[in-house]
Amino acid sequence: MDDAELRRCRQATLLSAIVALAVMIAAPILTGFRVDLLSFRAPMVLAAVLALFLPYSRWRGMARLCTALECGALTLIMGLPVVVLSFAAMRLAFPLADATLIAADRAIGFDWVATVIAVDRLPMLARLLTYAYSSFGFQLLFLPMLLALLGHRARAYRFVLGYVLLCAIATAIGTFFPALGAYEGHGFDPRRLQHVDSWFGFFFLETFHALRSAPDFVLSAENTAGIVTFPSIHAGIAALCAWAAWDSRLLRAPLLVLNLLMAFSALTNGAHYLVDVLAGLAVAVVTIAAVQRLTTVRAGGQAAPAMAVPRPA
């Protein structure tokens, strides 16, 4: 990895952050809801704490720590624009797409109900899938920081950039396919389950309905939920995490296993249809290709910088 490539990755990531913040300001105004920014102060304070150590790490020439702190802070900050954008998309209240998504599952021969029941009969697998599904936020925050500390600094920036791009692409597509999820879509009673944790498949519904119907809806940390069903952002992020860790011998195998489980858990725990998961994986492939194109310095010359920002130590 040369300095030009690392600089390119950092510049593209910072530019994506600026664009995301601009969209965060505009989206609620355009779609008619309000954001309680103060309720999100916890991640913002944590991001500020990480940023406070940046000057010191740069002064001491601690390049890996500098990148880790920057990627951690950016990931925390980008969480809010990602949530706001997804809520703005669902606020447009396009017709529910559950019937279409169920029909697509049936067209490819997938039986969602039978799959969930089969998993419920395997307590250990059900428990592993719950842990994998819940690892989403931890991986988003700690994976880029760990990659940077292990020396994969460019890949750390690419992961943060990919996170923003993947969520933006998935949300843009999901605007036209709002759905209640597979539990509601199939009329499946979660009381039939003994081991699969179905909570994630229901807890967002009250917020989802209020967002689509309440004229004075206010987004706060308390009612934040993942409400984009198609494509599955969980599945997309799982693929992105596995890709990001692939160059690390230490992380490759465990992250691959964890994220295979996380992608599958979108079906059982996240109330996603199979077509949601397949679409999420497809979005991840497009995202990775876009990230590589945006951040690769071509042989024989340096690509034009994405943005003029200070060079990291």
List C-alpha distances in Å: 236 to 49, 136, 227, 250, 287.
29, 11, 15, 22, 9
Q: What pTM did the predictor assign?
A: 0.91
Residue 206 within any structural domain of the chain: yes
The percent of residues above 90 in pLDDT, for the chain, comes to 87
Q: In angstroms, rounded to a whole number, what is the distance separating the alpha carbons of residues 215 and 55?
A: 45
Residue 312 within any structural domain of the chain: no
Residue 309 within any structural domain of the chain: no
Q: In angstroms, rounded to a whole number, what is the distance separating the alpha carbons of residues 143 and 72?
A: 9
CA dihedral 59, 63, 67, 72 (to 10 degrees): -70
Q: Structural domain of residue 267, as residue ranges?
A: 3-295
Q: Give the model confidence (pLDDT) of 295-307 as tens digits.
A: 987 765 444 444 3
**Mean pLDDT of the 70-76 span:** 96
Residue 311 within any structural domain of the chain: no
Q: In angstroms, rounded to a whole number, what is the distance separating the alpha carbons of residues 226 and 249?
A: 32
Q: In angstroms, rounded to a whole number, what is the distance separating the alpha carbons of residues 11 and 69?
A: 16
- Tell me what pLDDT residue 1 has: 52
Please say if the pLDDT value at position 311 is more than 70: no
Please say if the pLDDT value at position 126 is more than 90: yes
Mean pLDDT of the residues in the chain: 92
Domain count, the chain: 1
- Tell me what pLDDT residue 299 has: 61
- Tell me what pLDDT residue 225 has: 86
3-state SS class at 152? coil
Residues 6 or more apart whose Cβ sits within 8 Å of residue 22: none
